[in-house]
Structure 1
Amino acid sequence: MPMTFSVLNLQSPFPNSSGMPWSFHNLIELEVKWNFVKKIIPSSELLQLQKLEKIHVKHCDWAIEVVEALEEAGRNRNSISGHGFDEPSQTTTIVRLSNLTQVKLDNLGSLRNIWKSNQWTTFEFPNLTTLYIYKCDRLRHVFSGSMVGSLLQLQELHITDCDLLVDVIVKDASGVVEEESDGKSNEILVLPHLKSLSLYYLRCFQGFSLGKEDFSFPLLDTLVIKECPTIRTFTKGNLATPKLKEIETRFGSFYAGEDINSFIKIKQKEFSDNWDYD
């Protein structure tokens, strides 16, 4: 029977073997709030969470990671066919949470990683549709480059008041997001269902992606960028947004045109010139 699990003021949302004999195979919704745990979902519990649809974490000041990546020992122990773990090579395990659709993160002051890929683990969320991030001041990035290809259903991404956030997609160890051109044609990364992207009060934000890849958002029709004073560009590569007509900014709504990157540079220059004049 599917179930919802809410955790309040406990040491861990997942008791270990010495605690109560919980089973989370049917868990569909996890809510954790006002908790002192550092890692919300430890790697040892990933096998049990293949039915998980929603994650909501709020006011957990000690949390540094939401989904913990597997280390080598855990990877070897948990790699079981048919349970969301695939091993394409001897070095990397793909952890796929196929039913996860919604993640909300609210007031996590110490959060450094939501789902950090490492040399042993790459995460995939093929049905994630909605991601809300609010006031996670130590978070610097959202997705690693190797995760982008799995975000086939992502529709809404809203990020607000995260002081140290630099970009949404960061280069990872796989080299998916390259910082330097190697002379080859750029890869095109597609978020096929992304419709709404909002970026508010991100004082260190420099761009959606600072790598060289080209991006395509074929359904994006809402883009809000407000109070992001250090933004330099949206993407360094080319960007296709055929349905986007307007960009909402602190100065009002403006026609997006065909080149968001040029628009951002022009508006930033206007802002700098006005600031210098004042």
Structure 2
Amino acid sequence: MLSVISSNMIIRFNNLKILTMDNCEVLTEVFTYEDDKSDNNIQEMFSQLRVLALSNLNNLTYVWNKEPKVPFFSNLASLYIFYCGSLKSLFSISSIKNLGKLKLLKLYNCEKIEEVISSGDKDENVIFPTMECLVLKNLPKLVSFYRQNATFNWPNLQTVRVNNIPNMKTFSRGNLNTPLLRSIYITFDKKIWLGNLNSSISYIHDNSGM
């Protein structure tokens, strides 16, 4: 199985709330979308999906082979990505508007991922209105959450945990607004804070042996 849900199956999964994929060795993408006439009647995709968990998918290259132009994941609250060794990013910058209900993102042990959000062609103003918790762990090639200039607004972000992200010098090149964030956890109970997310990540990078 190279993909899980293809274009001609999407409409059948309107009420899907939880999708878990684990130990599918040859899977290369979760959703295969072909922008053809058969999909013109689809107004929104996976609008009821609350939890997406992907783990031990060594050949997974994309969540979507081609991100839809219609809204998707509008109620996704929890996203777990563990041991997906071929992923280099999760979503494009333009698709973040679909993740307005996302509260929790955990990204572990993905050895090739370089950025969480793939770089776009222009500066963006991005908001994660309900995100509360972000965990980044064992990501040896991660350089940045987003490598281009963008203003990120996280009005409800309260918990950030990072561990073993040796190449991440800054969280993002653009402005970061995190009014409720007061610390970054580097172990279960050890935390630091240098006034903002970028400065704190830079300090962690420069003091990796602490």
Using the size of structure 2 for normalisation, the TM-score is: 0.92
Call closer, same or farther: CA 1:250–1:41 in 2, change over 3 Å. Answer: same
**In the alignment, does 2:181 pair up with 1:244?**
yes
Alpha-carbon distance in structure 1 between the residues aligned to 2:71 and 2:169: 29
Letter in 1 for 2:40: S
Unaligned runs of 5+ in 2: none
Match of 1:45 in 2: 9
Structure number with the bigger relative contact order (C-alpha 8 A, sep ≥ 6) is 2
8 Å CA contact 1:122–1:147 kept in 2: the answer is no
8 Å CA contact 2:133–2:159 kept in 1: the answer is yes
Match of 2:30 in 1: 66
Match of 2:106 in 1: 158
**In the alignment, does 2:144 pair up with 1:196?**
no
Alpha-carbon distance in structure 2 between the residues aligned to 1:245 and 1:195: 13
**In the alignment, does 2:46 pair up with 1:97?**
yes
Question: Over alpha carbons, which structure has the higher Rg?
Answer: 1
Query: Deviations for 1:129-184, whole angstroms, at most 9, x for unmatched residues?
Result: 00011100001111111210111110000011110011111135xx4xx3xxxxxx
8 Å CA contact 2:186–2:192 kept in 1: the answer is no
Match of 2:172 in 1: 235
Query: Deviations for 1:105-141, whole angstroms, at most 9, x for unmatched residues?
Result: 11001000012435x7465211000001110000111
The alignment covers a number of residue pairs equal to 210
Match of 1:76 in 2: 37
Unaligned runs of 5+ in 1: 1-36, 87-94, 179-185
Using the size of structure 1 for normalisation, the TM-score is: 0.70
Residue number among 195, 198, 201 corresponding to 1:261 in the alignment: 198
Greater shift, 238-247 or 120-129, is seen at 120-129
Letter in 2 for 1:70: E
Q: Percent same amino acid among aligned pairs? A: 26
8 Å CA contact 1:117–1:123 kept in 2: the answer is no
